[in-house]
Amino acid sequence: MTKSSGNGRLILLGAPLGNPGDASARLRDTLGEADVVAAEDTRRLTRLARDLGVTVTGRIVSYFEGNEERRTPELVDAARDGALVALVTDAGMPSVSDPGYRLVRAAVEAGVPVSVAPGPSAVTTALALSGLATDRFCFEGFLPRTGGPRRARLRALAAEERTLVFFEAPHRVAGSLADLAAAFGPERPAALCRELTKTYEEVLRRPLGELATWAADGEPRGEITLVVAGAPAVVAPVPAVADLRAAVADLEAEGTSRRDAITAVATGYGLRRRDVYAAVHAPAAD
């Protein structure tokens, strides 16, 4: 494979979650072509390259949480000087709860082109497997490590109506599930996805209370992604005709035209304008 042509850039490589067969052709090609490969764990990179039958001829450097602040300028400078710099983390997409965000920001600010070779993501893989709603979801990454901050975060999320996706470490998952059950209710549907795409892949689809009990009985092993159903939508009560009339009358008393008052009340209650109009002009009850 030929080396880069001097058009320096940064490319983020989506790596397999576990099964090397999920690697893209672009991942293979880029690992062989890159002038510099920044890896979260150089030993895992070496193993991945061996599994893929790729020879990494560029310079391999480590890039992880402990050294990314120091190493980021070095990698940006290499790209500015014309090098093809590839970033690969242990699994999934760089910068998604993995190193990479700091490097992308620095590259953008330096005018270095940034591209992505898309690949597997534990977020969307677990979401698709969960059996929960996928049309609207939010990714919350890792919860706080300690109980107090974790419970505060979960209280703030308890009313979130979108499906939620979390990452969690095996030794903390029992505590997190217990706090989730307490904050969201033990009957909230959820799925615990473990070791995705690997030999011992497991997906447990149970209410939070049952998952918390299961985790408390023994520490689960492997990479864990939690998917939790959103809170049920709160249906606002339909206001009484008298209340709608009173709201329109109050606005009219302040000098608002009836037309504008009806529009404002309809917007405020989330109703159709014609329904408020009908309420205002309906015969008064005896």
Model pLDDT for residues 235-251, shown as the tens digit of each residue: 667 788 888 999 999 99
Whole-prediction pTM value? Answer: 0.78
Q: How many CA atoms lie within 13 A of 23 on its CB side?
A: 24
In this structure, the number of other CB atoms found within 10 A of the CB of residue 118 comes to 12
Q: How many CA atoms lie within 13 A of 78 on its CB side?
A: 23
Position 80 scores a pLDDT of 96
Q: Are 8 and 80 in contact (CB under 8 A)?
A: yes
Position 94 pLDDT exceeds 90: yes
Q: Are 14 and 118 in contact (CB under 8 A)?
A: yes
Position 282 pLDDT exceeds 90: no
The neighbouring-strand residues paired with 15 are 92
pLDDT per position as a tens digit, 113-151 = 999 999 999 999 999 999 999 999 999 999 999 989 999
Pairing of strands 189-194, 202-207: antiparallel
- Report the amino acid identity of residue 142: F
Position 267 scores a pLDDT of 87
pLDDT per position as a tens digit, 203-227 = 999 999 999 999 999 878 889 999 9
Position 205 scores a pLDDT of 98
pLDDT per position as a tens digit, 158-198 = 999 999 999 999 999 999 999 999 999 999 999 999 999 99
- How far is Cα 193 from Cα 211, in angstroms, rounded to an integer? 11
Position 284 pLDDT exceeds 70: no
Position 270 scores a pLDDT of 83
3-state secondary structure the chain: CCCCCCCCEEEEECECCCCHHHCCHHHHHHHHHCCEEEECCHHHHHHHHHHHCCCCCCEEEECCCCCHHHHHHHHHHHHHCCCEEEEECCCECCCCCCCCHHHHHHHHHCCCCEEEECCCCHHHHHHHHHCCCCCCEEEEEECCCCHHHHHHHHHHHCCCCCEEEEEECCCCHHHHHHHHHHHHCCCCEEEEEECCCCCCCEEEEEEHHHHHHHHHCCCCCCCEEEEECCCCCCCCCCCCHHHHHHHHHHHHHCCCCHHHHHHHHHHHHCCCHHHHHHHHHCCCCC
Pairing of strands 137-142, 202-207: unpaired
Position 126 scores a pLDDT of 97
Q: How confident is the model at residue 285 (pLDDT cuts 50, 70, 90)?
A: low
Helix 258-269 to helix 241-253 angle, to the nearest 10 degrees?
130
Position 215 scores a pLDDT of 95
In this structure, the number of other CB atoms found within 10 A of the CB of residue 210 comes to 16
Q: Torsion angle, CA of 177/196/32/47, rounded to 10 degrees?
A: 90
- How far is Cα 54 from Cα 46, in angstroms, rounded to an integer? 9
pLDDT per position as a tens digit, 32-91 = 999 999 999 999 999 999 999 999 999 999 999 999 999 999 999 999 999 999 999 999
Domains of the chain (ranges; CATH) run 9-120 (3.40.1010.10), 123-228 (3.30.950.10), 241-281 (no CATH)
Average pLDDT, the chain: 93
Q: Are 154 and 180 in contact (CB under 8 A)?
A: yes
Position 158 scores a pLDDT of 94
Q: How confident is the model at residue 234 (pLDDT cuts 50, 70, 90)?
A: confident
Position 42 scores a pLDDT of 96
Position 137 scores a pLDDT of 97
